[in-house]
A = this chain, B = another copy of it.
Amino acid sequence: MTQGRFTAETTRLDDAARAGWLYYVAGNTQDEIARKLSVSRQTAQRLVSLAVSERLVKVRLDHPIGRCMDLAGMVTDRFGLQFCEIVPSDPDAPGLLTGVAIAAAVELERVLKSDEGRIIALGTGRALKATVEQLPRLDCPRHRIVSLLGNMMSDGSATPYNATIAMAERVGAKHYPYPLPVLASDPDELKVLHAQEAVRNTIGLGQQADLTLVGIGQMGRQAPLVVDGFVAEAEMAALVAAGATGEITSWIYDGDGHVLDCDFNRRVASVPLPKAAERRVIAVAVGEAKRPALTAALGGRLVNGLITNEAMAERLLAAK
């Protein structure tokens, strides 16, 4: 039954989509749209901008910009990557996620187009959330989306940056949320949790993913782990003192990209990071704050693919 779509809310979005189509695809002026839709020009304008702000219209740039290709080549060589995509950056907004999100979404789409059932594993974070928002609505029931870590805190509340559910909903695929909190109370509890069959199954899926997309978490006061309340500031300071440089799906690693042997990591419930780089593991990260963490992850071969922007690429290459 499609009736449900015809609520007032949806009608408004429909109009927004229609206006956006007339504007961007058919090249109508807002005045013409207003006439065709029998609304005032101002309303037409609002509809168009609604279509934009609701992300109904997606703009994609189809030209390999020379500078970006050059940077991608250099980054690939320097860090021994299998995949690297550099998008232009706006000098005034070097942390803008939209660009990398689009690039990552394109890469996801490439996998989703496959006829065979694929497994896609996702971490969490703002970058991945933005990526999923750039995905078109598809119907790919053969593919499976697996979460690499929980999105619950120990008290049961959820963090907002889980991308798995949104993605599975968008592309119509089966999805496997990670059935554990991010952190266990202690290593023994973790052992018990990991022994569950559902958990073992999900971990197994995550480890054989055809494409793994992860964000990069920095350390320090603004660290996602701190902001989202998994680590107290004092604890974070101790971790940093112990050499913590960054984090991928909550696994904290040092400046060489080696996962730390510490109390925190012994409580992390996430799927273990893939050891060898036989799987495609792509990091999505922008923003100066994440540079040390990203540098370490690349150096330690924790990932073998990267999607970032010019600003970050230049800094990565300039370093050392």
Contacts and interface: CB of A to CB of B under 8 A. Distances in A.
A65 B24 CA distance: 14
Contacts of A24: 59, 61
A130 B102 CA distance: 34
Nearest to A311: B1
* A-side interface size class: 35 or more
A28 interface: yes
Copies in the complex: 2
A17 B136 contact: no
Contacts of A26: 90, 93, 96, 98-99
A274 to B, nearest CB: 23
Contact of A59 (B14, B59, B90): B59
Given A6-B98, A96-B26, A21 B65 contact: yes
19 contacts: A1-B89, A2-B89, A5-B64, A5-B88, A6-B99, A13-B63, A17-B61, A21-B61, A21-B65, A21-B66, A21-B69, A24-B59, A24-B61, A26-B93, A28-B90, A36-B92, A58-B61, A60-B136, A62-B137
Given A21-B88, A24-B59, A56-B63, 12 more contacts: A1-B67, A14-B66, A16-B63, A17-B65, A17-B88, A21-B69, A25-B69, A26-B93, A26-B98, A26-B99, A56-B62, A57-B61
